[in-house]
């Protein structure tokens, strides 16, 4: 029996959206799903119980960060990442590839992998498909991602093509290296914003018959419309019966547009990162609660929200906490933002089930863009 199985429960009639169910060794996930990010084996500021309490069914952890600190050995000795961090639901780990290309210095890329300097202490490391698989097996995530090359945006067609070739070779190497039967490996499709290269990458990667597919190399600086058109382009090239994971995407509009274009899984640091900068998402758009305008505003962040933060605290208090650099402020905004996105995904799933996706999406946009904060 494969580590994960995916079932499409319903297809939307007027868009590419799908309602699905992904079963993993640590539990079942209703899709489309947003995965909160727990980069360093913790969803920043939150306990696992709080993350689960928001309705999160799966989180993402970062192989690059955990490989460097505390190291894969310690997590293996702890009994794996689930036990180490006290999270019993599914975990997806990325491959480390994206961080090696975006965070580390002194990258030397060869066909075997990448030599890089740690962004923490400057030490030299090597990560390739075999190493990434070994680390992810030590972490014991439910879903591991293949080691890929994410080319920066913009890049020349030659660079993008080279990235596609390397990603395909590394995908095969990952499958050869991978051992754990209680862990699935998803392939990753690259190809930048060049339709022909996207199609080629999709053909080559899906030929390897992974149980799921990541769409990498998007949301890296290109215009949103370009990302949407690539997602449309890809729809015909991805198997209908496998989950599709749009990596690094997490703004409400991109989640909605991704869902409409057949995406089943998303992850992004956006909700937790902007929360720590004092920005929250509300029914009526973004609100920078740090602003002086909210010093005496005794309403909740979002009057239509029923999260712990909005049930118990005012904008004035949260602003005070953020200005005073109190950790509770970061906790409260993080809870609210994650709740906002998880609830949005719940509404999108329900809308697909009821055949009302476009109506629900239009209603969301109308209020979110109204500026009536």
| Contacting positions for a second copy (CB under 8 A) | 40-42, 44-47, 65, 69-70, 74, 77-78, 84-86, 295-296, 298, 312-314, 316-317, 319-321, 323-324, 326-328, 330-331
22: phi then psi, degrees, rounded to nearest 5: -115, 120
Q: Given the residues 12, 94, 142, 302, select the one marked as catalytic.
A: 94
Q: Given the complex with a second copy, which of 234 and 338 has the nearer CB atom?
A: 338
Active site residue 267: yes
73 known ligand binder: no
Of 176, 45, 25, 170, nearest in space to 95 by CA: 170
Evaluate whether 64 touches 96 at the Cβ level (below 8 Å). yes
Q: How far is the CB of 114 from a second copy (least distance, A)?
A: 23
- How far is it, in rounded angstroms, from Cα 27 to Cα 89? 6
Q: Given the complex with a second copy, which of 265 and 335 has the nearer CB atom?
A: 335
Q: Given the complex with a second copy, which of 31 and 62 has the nearer CB atom?
A: 62
- How far is it, in rounded angstroms, from Cα 146 to Cα 93? 10
> Residue 156 half-sphere exposure, CB side, CA atoms within 13 Å?
3
Evaluate whether 336 touches 309 at the Cβ level (below 8 Å). yes
What is the distance, to the nearest Å, from the Cα of residue 20 to the centroid of all Cα atoms in its chain?
17
191 known ligand binder: no
- How far is it, in rounded angstroms, from Cα 357 to Cα 355? 6
Q: How far is the CB of 306 from a second copy (least distance, A)?
A: 16
Provide the token pair at 55: 């309705």
Evaluate whether 170 touches 204 at the Cβ level (below 8 Å). no
53 known ligand binder: no
Active site residue 264: no
268 known ligand binder: no
Q: How far is the CB of 42 from a second copy (least distance, A)?
A: 5
Of 170, 269, 279, 147, nearest in space to 216 by CA: 147
Q: Given the complex with a second copy, which of 66 and 259 has the nearer CB atom?
A: 66
Q: Given the residues 12, 264, 267, 302, select the one marked as catalytic.
A: 267
Q: Given the complex with a second copy, which of 178 and 315 has the nearer CB atom?
A: 315
Q: Which helix (H) or strand (E) holds 364?
A: helix 357-368
336 known ligand binder: yes
320 known ligand binder: no
Q: How far is the CB of 282 from a second copy (least distance, A)?
A: 20
Taking the CA atoms of 232, 238, 243 and 247 in sequence, report the sign of the dihedral they define.
Answer: negative
**Number of Cβ within a 10 Å radius of residue 288:** 14
Q: How far is the CB of 279 from a second copy (least distance, A)?
A: 18
Q: Which residues are annotated as a binding site for substrate?
A: 94-98, 148, 190, 217
Q: Which residues are annotated as a binding site?
A: 94-98, 148, 190, 217, 305, 307, 310, 336
Residues marked as catalytic: 94, 267
């Amino acid at each position: 029996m494969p580590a994960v199985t995916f079932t499409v429960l319903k297809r939307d009639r007027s868009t590419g959206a799908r309602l699905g169910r992904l079963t993993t060794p640590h539990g079942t996930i209703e899709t489309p799903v947003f995965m909160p990010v727990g980069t360093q084996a913790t969803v920043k500021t939150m306990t696992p119980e709080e993350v689960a309490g928001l309705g999160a069914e799966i989180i993402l952890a970062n192989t690059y960060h955990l490989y460097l600190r505390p190291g894969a050995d310690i997590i293996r000795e702890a009994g794996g990442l689930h036990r180490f961090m006290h999270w019993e639901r599914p975990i997806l780990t990325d491959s480390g590839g994206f961080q090696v290309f975006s965070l580390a210095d002194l990258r030397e890329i060869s066909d075997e992998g990448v030599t890089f300097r740690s962004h923490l202490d400057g030490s030299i490391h090597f990560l390739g498909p075999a190493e990434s698989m070994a680390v992810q097996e030590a972490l014991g995530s439910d879903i591991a991602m293949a080691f890929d090359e994410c080319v920066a945006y913009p890049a020349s067609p030659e660079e993008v093509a080279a990235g596609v070739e390397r990603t395909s070779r590394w995908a095969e190497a990952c499958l050869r290296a991978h051992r754990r039967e209680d862990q699935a490996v998803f392939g990753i499709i690259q190809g930048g914003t060049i339709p022909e290269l996207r199609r080629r990458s999709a053909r080559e990667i899906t030929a390897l018959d992974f149980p799921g597919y990541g769409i990498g190399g998007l949301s890296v600086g290109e215009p949103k419309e370009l990302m949407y058109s690539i997602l449309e382009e890809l729809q015909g090239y991805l198997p209908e019966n496998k989950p599709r994971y749009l990596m690094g995407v997490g703004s409400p509009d991109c989640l909605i547009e991704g869902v409409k274009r057949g995406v089943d899984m998303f992850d992004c640091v956006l909700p937790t990162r902007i929360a720590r900068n004092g920005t929250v998402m509300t029914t009526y758009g973004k609100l920078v609660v740090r602003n002086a305008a909210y010093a005496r505003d005794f309403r909740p962040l979002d009057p239509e929200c029923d999260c712990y933060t909005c049930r118990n605290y005012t904008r004035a208090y949260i602003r005070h906490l953020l200005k005073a650099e109190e950790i509770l402020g970061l906790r409260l905004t993080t809870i609210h933002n994650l709740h906002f996105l998880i609830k949005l995904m719940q509404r999108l799933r329900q809308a697909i089930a009821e055949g009302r996706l476009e109506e629900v999406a239009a209603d969301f946009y109308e209020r979110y863009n109204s500026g009536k904060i």
